[in-house]
């Protein structure tokens, strides 16, 4: 693993009814979706479209580890801000630090997460080396 001095990327999302549960708060599994939305948009902002990575390079990203701390609940209709910062990478994996905030309180995370994703072959779902152009992108 090589440490990266990653820049923090932010992506807004909104809490709809689909995201909540009968406890009146955002259902805990939804945060994994929010975190992935931000990683997807981080890749897109770097010029990497995952449908093309799959079609042209035969690779997809699979989450191999996710460590989540649920600090405070988000609620229906909240405007959220999801952050993503790459902090390390290996031959196959990229490691991210992520967090979820209310859009108007970005100093107190609702959720913090350590997420590792692996590059895998689309066909066999086996570990594959990160293409060089992705590694280059990470170092920007």
Classify residue 125 by its DSSP letter.
Answer: -
Of 4 and 118, CB closest to its own copies: 118
In the complex, the smallest distance separating the C-beta of residue 5 from its own copies, rounded to whole angstroms, is: 26
Of 88 and 127, CB closest to its own copies: 127
Catalytic residue positions, numbered:
21
Of 29 and 139, CB closest to its own copies: 29
In the complex, the smallest distance separating the C-beta of residue 107 from its own copies, rounded to whole angstroms, is: 20
Helix (H, G, I), strand (E, B), or coil: what is residue 4?
A: coil
**Cα(85)–Cα(40) distance, integer angstroms:** 12
> Where does this chain bind its own copies (CB under 8 A)?
14, 16-18, 20-25, 27-30, 32-33, 36-37, 40, 49-51, 60, 62-70, 73, 75-77, 122, 125
In the complex, the smallest distance separating the C-beta of residue 106 from its own copies, rounded to whole angstroms, is: 20
Secondary structure E strands in the chain: 2-3, 9-14, 59-70, 79-89, 93-102, 111-121
CA distances from 14 to 25, 37, 47, 76, 120 (A): 13, 12, 24, 9, 30
């Amino acid at each position: 693993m090589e440490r990266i001095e990653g820049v923090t990327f932010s992506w807004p999302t909104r809490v709809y009814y689909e995201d909540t549960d009968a406890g009146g708060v955002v259902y805990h599994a939804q945060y994994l979706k929010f975190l992935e939305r931000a990683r997807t948009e981080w890749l897109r902002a770097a010029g990497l479209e995952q449908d093309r990575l799959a079609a042209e390079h035969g690779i997809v990203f699979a989450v191999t580890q996710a460590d989540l701390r649920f600090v405070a609940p988000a609620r229906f209709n909240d405007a959220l801000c999801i952050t993503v910062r790459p902090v390390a990478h290996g031959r196959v994996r990229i490691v991210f630090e992520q967090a979820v905030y209310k859009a108007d309180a970005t100093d107190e995370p609702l959720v913090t997460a350590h997420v590792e994703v692996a590059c895998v072959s689309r066909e066999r779902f086996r570990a594959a080396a990160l293409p060089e152009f992705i590694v280059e992108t990470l170092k920007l």
